[in-house]
């Protein structure tokens, strides 16, 4: 089981830099958030920032981070403007889900998603919303996300699909 090998916990301030590096490893340069934005996410919304750490090596293997809001549709400003975070928001916009390539296909992404859903539910949120590229739709459907259609987001210079999960 994935929880036997990895710890899943809220990010600690000293892990923010490692998460910023991981983001740039998992996403192309035009899609990865900046180091500064990642550090702001860890500082201003740690309650929606979960990391997976390999118990044996101590290495961060993945993370998920989001922003809470009462807005219902995903917009690009969520990636860069942490002043939009409302800790009492009813919707959590998933900003990044990253798992290092050598740790994929072990259930880490699913566990991160489930952990964020549980946190969101405990915080009073009603749903998670994410955007993804064509080839990830099926993966998210297998994690209980429902396809909503094309997103208004053009982050990274291309179109996205919007999906939701009720919690």
Asked whether residue 140 is assigned to any structural domain, the reply reads: no
Q: In this predicted model, what pLDDT tens digit does every residue of 127-162 receive, in sequence order?
A: 999 999 999 999 999 999 999 999 989 988 888 999
Instruction: Say what the pLDDT of residue 126 is.
Output: 97
Asked whether residue 167 is assigned to any structural domain, the reply reads: no
Domains of the chain: total: 1
Instruction: Say what the pLDDT of residue 159 is.
Output: 86
Asked whether residue 137 is assigned to any structural domain, the reply reads: no
Asked whether residue 138 is assigned to any structural domain, the reply reads: no
Asked whether residue 165 is assigned to any structural domain, the reply reads: no
Asked whether residue 85 is assigned to any structural domain, the reply reads: yes
Q: Alpha-carbon distance 40 to 76, whole Å? A: 16
User: How much of the chain exceeds pLDDT 90, in percent?
Assistant: 92
Range of the domain at 45: 2-130
Asked whether residue 157 is assigned to any structural domain, the reply reads: no
What is the CATH number for 113? 3.40.630.30
């Amino acid at each position: 089981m994935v929880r036997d090998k990895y710890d899943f916990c809220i990010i600690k301030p000293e892990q923010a830099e490692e998460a910023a590096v991981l983001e740039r490893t998992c996403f192309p340069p035009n899609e990865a958030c900046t180091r500064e934005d990642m550090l702001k996410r860890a500082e201003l919304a740690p309650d929606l920032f979960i990391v997976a750490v390999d118990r044996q090596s101590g290495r961060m293997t993945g993370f998920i981070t989001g922003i809470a809001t009462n807005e219902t549709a995903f917009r690009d400003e969520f990636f860069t403007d942490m002043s939009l975070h409302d800790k009492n928001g009813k919707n959590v916009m998933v900003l990044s889900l990253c798992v290092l390539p050598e740790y994929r296909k072990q259930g880490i992404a699913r566990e991160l998603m489930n952990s964020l859903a549980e946190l969101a539910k405990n915080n009073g949120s009603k749903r998670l919303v994410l955007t993804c590229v064509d080839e990830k739709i099926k993966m998210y459907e297998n994690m209980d996300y429902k396809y909503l259609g094309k997103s208004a987001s053009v982050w990274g210079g291309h179109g996205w699909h919007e999906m939701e999960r009720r919690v």
